[in-house]
A = this chain, B = another copy of it.
Amino acid sequence: MTPFIAAVDWGTSSFRLWLLDADGQVIAESRSDEGMMKARDIGFASVLDRHLDDVSAPAELPVVICGMAGAKQGWREANYLETPAALKELVENSVRIGAKRPIHILPGICQRDVRYPDVMRGEETQLLGAVAEGTRSGLVCMPGTHSKWVQLDEGRVTRFSTFMTGELYAAIAGHTILKLALADQPDASPDAQAFSRAVLRAMENPEQVTARLFSIRSGPLLGLAEAAEGAAKLSGELIGLELAGARAQFGRVEAVTLVGAGKLFELYRAALEAASMKVHPVDADAAVRAGLLSAGTALFGQAVAGA
C-alpha cells in the first residue's frame, strides 16, 4: 500500500496518527498521550516529527490534522466555522503550516448563540467522515468527556449542543462522597437494570438528579439499595439528564446516529434504546479517519493522482 496522507487526531490529552493509503486503509499507526497539554511543553512540531518517524512516513507526505492543535492554545489557530456550517468548508478554511511537507490543520465549528454558545474541535472531522460515508442528515450523538449532539442537514451542521456528561461523571465519582459509594465497584454495565432505570428516571424528573445522586450513598447505607449498583446509577442519571436535554433541544427524534467506540458507545446505545430511540452505529475512529481522508483527498487528491 502506498501512503497517501498522515492523518492526525490531536486531542487535549491524546495524540493519534495513522498512515493512510488513498482508499483510507491503515498502513501504520502511532499514538501517545502527547495531546495539546503536553505538546505545548514539548513543541508541536517535534511531537509530530517523532510520530512521523515512528511510521516511516516519506519526507514530503502531506499531514492533515484535526482537534486541539488548531485551538488558540494549540499549534496554530484555525478559526472556527460558524453554524450553519457546511462540513466541506472545513477544508477551505484549514490552516497550512510548513514549506516542504504540507501540514494542514482543520478548523472547529462554533455556534454564536447567546443562549447556547458552543464550540467543537475534532468532532466536526468525525462528522465530515460520517457524511463521506453517507450520513448526510439527522441527529448525531457523540458521547465523550464533553458529549456533542449535532443536527445535520444535507452535510451542514445547523445546530449543536455540548453536555459535560463524561467530565461530570469523573468529577463526581472521584471528588465527592460518592467516591466511597463507588469504591471497589464494577463499572456501569449497559445490561444492568439499574442503569436503564436511572436513565429513564432522569429523563422523567431531571430536576431530581442532584437529590438522587445523594441516594446512591444513602440507599445502601440504609440497606435499601445494592451498593454494587452505584456506578450504573450515577452513569444512568447523568446520561439520562443529557438525553432529556437533547430531546428538549432537538425534538423527539426516533433515530439517532451514534458515533462512538467501546464501553461508552455501549452505554449510550443502551440508554438510547431504553428511551425508545433507534440507533445507527458509527465507529468513532473510523469516522475521524474517513473525515481526515476526505479532507486529504480534497486538498491533495489531484497532486497525488498525478504523481
Chain A residues within 8 Å of B, Cβ to Cβ: 110, 112-114, 116-119, 146, 161-165, 167-168, 170-172, 174-177, 205-215, 218-219, 221-222, 224-225, 238, 241-242, 244-245, 247-249
Q: Is the interface of A mostly helix, strand, loop or mixed?
A: helix
Which residues of chain B are near A212, meaning CB under 8 Å?
Answer: 116
Question: Which of B110, B172, B210, B222 contacts A119, CB < 8 Å?
Answer: B222
| Copies of this chain in the oligomer | 2
Residues B162 and A208 in contact, CB atoms below 8 Å apart: no
Q: Write the nearest CB–CB distance from A149 to chain B, whole angstroms.
A: 9
Which residues of chain B are near A177, meaning CB under 8 Å?
Answer: 146, 164, 167
Instruction: A118-B215, A164-B210, A208-B245 given; name 5 further pairs at CB < 8 Å.
Output: A162-B218, A164-B176, A171-B174, A210-B241, A211-B249
State whether A219 and B117 are in contact (beta carbons under 8 Å apart), knowing that A161-B211, A210-B163 are contacts in the complex. Answer: yes
Which residues of chain B are near A245, meaning CB under 8 Å?
Answer: 207-211
Residues B244 and A207 in contact, CB atoms below 8 Å apart: yes
Question: Which of B119, B165, B167, B225 contacts A117, CB < 8 Å?
Answer: B225
Q: Write the nearest CB–CB distance from A238 to chain B, whole angstroms.
A: 7
Closest 3 interchain pairs by CB?
A207-B244, A206-B207, A171-B175
Q: Which of A117, A170, A212 has the most chain B CB atoms inside 10 A of its CB?
A: A117
A116 to B214, CA, bound (A): 9
A168 to B172, CA, bound (A): 7
Question: Which of B162, B218, B244 contacts A214, CB < 8 Å?
Answer: B162
A212 to B113, CA, bound (A): 12
Residues B171 and A205 in contact, CB atoms below 8 Å apart: no
